[in-house]
Chain A
Amino acid sequence: MVEADDPFPKLELELRRGAIVLAALSQLSSAQYGYSLRQALAARGMEIEEGTLYPLLRRLEAQGVLVSEWRTGDGPPRRYYTLSEDGRQLYTRLSQSWHALGAVMDALVADGAGR
């Protein structure tokens, strides 16, 4: 198969795309700014492009999932995001869905591999 025609990168990207929101929410029980959140996710093996993550934080804030504030400390002013009360509840529900989906997918993939 010619590398350019390999559908794997595109399909893997779609697979990961569905998990980005949950991944971001998982790290926001404590306040993070965009860059620190990206680093925290990357350190755990979840690389998310800057151009995807930063606007996503704004959109989640607009939906009431996150709250944010500007903070100044030793460094430059940074906008810190954290889960809102609604966001915490949403995160719990999404986590449960993720675990249920994971169990189903594990069974399906194991079933597929066994054939």
Chain B
Amino acid sequence: MTANEMIARYVQAVTRRLPLEQRADIGAELSALLTEELAGRAEGREPDAALARTLLQGFGHPETVALSYHQTPPVIETLDGRLFRKLAVIFLAALAVLALGVTLSDPAAQTDASFADRIADETLAAALQGLGGLLVVFWIAGFARRRWLRGRWSPNALPAVQAPDAVNRPVMAAAIMFWAAGLAILMAGPATVMAHITGGAAPTALLDAFTYDAAFAAERAPVLWVLLALSILVPAWQAVAGRVTRTTRRVEAVLTLLLAAALFRIVLAGDVFAAEPANEYMKLAMALFGGWGVITSLTALHRDWQTRRSEAAASAPPAQE
């Protein structure tokens, strides 16, 4: 590994632990400073990897350096933030589904006027306790990791610099096949697929439960199938190209927003399945997916805006010496 490559790996390891809007700017400055430090230590010679290793080792573990760029150390480190958000959303969604399921299915809800309020209070308490617990677990994990990492790292072992837009083709291809199979099942109709797989031996009640509502199948479903197909085509295009471009990322975000809007419309317009409770649960699932779609697409568009702003700040040095 060359000295420059080691510095690039180090800068990547630091910046991926920083808030997105600071990454490009701090990365550019850190890279320039480390390169200059290295040249200073080389005293006119060509800097080698051993010299770079000594410099970086003295600079500190990337996690420690990244934390020192914060005004106040975050409770949850940036690197863990994405996992924390995912787990928190999954936990809250599961809790909401559970609470709704209990409210809809418990006979007491029909007779006891305070039942829904009680469930809402208990759900809120469980949500706060769960999120608090998750916060504590992440804080302890981050603290323990920093203690463990102290003195136990080597610049040689830092991960290689990845192109930020590179695509893992095998994983992407597997995901596309999975989504395409799912879409095919939805388009054919779950009842039809079940009947086909079981050779007509599936119980009639099961087939009836998963038969589409006629109005949905005729009017609203085609729009949904088209949007879902387009949503699969974007990653398919990315897999073929081998990279995610800013344009495809934006197209993906806009399509997800449109898909979320279509799902909300379907939920409000009428039934999806002809029979209950499959219809009720499907509409609940669609509402949750729609909400998730709004959050992810708006997050992606906001991130895109932040990245452009950060790049503009880093790439336009205004004054001349």
Contact = CB atoms under 8 A, between A and B. Distances in A.
A70 B69 contact: no
The SS class assigned to the B binding surface is: helix
Contacts of A17: none
B95 to A, nearest CB: 37
Chain B interface size, as a band, is 20 to 34
B277 interface: no
A35 B68 CA distance: 18
Interface in A41-66: 49-52, 54-56, 58-59, 62-63
Contacts of B58: 49-51
Contacts of B55: 50
A39 B319 CA distance: 23
A62 B71 contact: yes
A71 B30 contact: no
A76 interface: yes
A52 to B, nearest CB: 7
Nearest to A77: B317
A49 B57 CA distance: 12
Interface string B85-108: 000000000000000000000000
Chain A interface size, as a band, is 20 to 34
B32 A58 contact: no
Contacts of A35: 33, 36-37, 40
Looking at A63, A71, A79, the one whose CB has the most chain B CB atoms below 10 A away is A79
A30 interface: no
A77 B28 contact: yes
A69 interface: yes
B65 A70 contact: no
Nearest to A59: B71
Contact of A52 (B34, B68, B71, B314): B68
Given A34-B33, A51-B58, A51-B60, A58 B320 contact: no
B59 interface: yes
A21 to B, nearest CB: 14
Contact of A55 (B35, B36, B65, B314): B65
B1 interface: no
B69 A50 contact: no
A34 B317 CA distance: 16
Looking at B26, B29, B55, B60, the one whose CB has the most chain A CB atoms below 10 A away is B29
B316 interface: yes
Contacts of B26: 58
Given A51-B59, A56-B68, A71-B319, 17 more contacts: A34-B29, A34-B33, A35-B36, A39-B40, A50-B58, A52-B68, A54-B29, A54-B33, A55-B69, A58-B69, A59-B71, A69-B317, A72-B317, A72-B320, A72-B321, A74-B321, A79-B29
Interface of A: 33-35, 39, 49-52, 54-56, 58-59, 62-63, 69-74, 76-79
